[in-house]
Amino acid sequence: MDLKRVSNEDKLSLCRKYYIGGFAMLPFLWFVNSVWFFKEAFIHPSYEEQKQIRTYVIRSIIGTVIWVAIILTWVIVFQTNRVAWDVIGDKLSFVLPRGIP
C-alpha cells in the first residue's frame, strides 16, 4: 500500500490497528508499524494526526525492543543451560527407516 494515496485519518487508523495488534502476541506488527510509519511520524510535514502517529510509532519501537530483548535473553539462557536442565526432548531419538532399495 502506498501511504501517499491514503488519507491522514486512514493512516492514523491503520497505525493504531498495527499498534494494538502487537499486544495480541504479534510483536512483528510493532516492528512493521515502526518501519512503515517512521517517515510519516518524523520526516513528513506536520499535520493534525501526525502527533498520534508519532506516539504509536515510538511505542511500537519500544515494544519491539522489549520483545527482542526477551527473545534474546531466553535463547541465551536456554542454550547455556539446555544440557543442565536435562530436557526430555534431548533424550528422545528417532530412527527413520531407509527406503527399500
- Quote the pTM value: 0.75
Q: Is 47 inside a domain boundary?
A: yes
Q: Is 73 inside a domain boundary?
A: yes
Average pLDDT, the chain: 86
Residue 32: which residues within 8 A CB-CB, separation 6 or more? Answer: 18
Q: Between 40 and 92, name the one with better pLDDT.
A: 40
Q: Is 59 inside a domain boundary?
A: yes
Q: Among 11, 6, 1, which Cα is nearest to 48's?
A: 11
Q: Among 61, 27, 25, which Cα is nearest to 41's?
A: 61
Instruction: Tell me the per-residue pLDDT of 62-101, one tens digit each, with 9 for 90 and over.
Output: 999 999 999 999 999 988 887 777 656 556 566 667 776 6
Q: Is 94 inside a domain boundary?
A: no
Rounded mean pLDDT, 15-25: 91
Q: Is 32 inside a domain boundary?
A: yes
pLDDT score, position 88: 60
Domain count, the chain: 1
* Domain ranges, residue 27: 3-85
Q: Is 16 inside a domain boundary?
A: yes
Residue 56: is its pLDDT beyond 90? yes
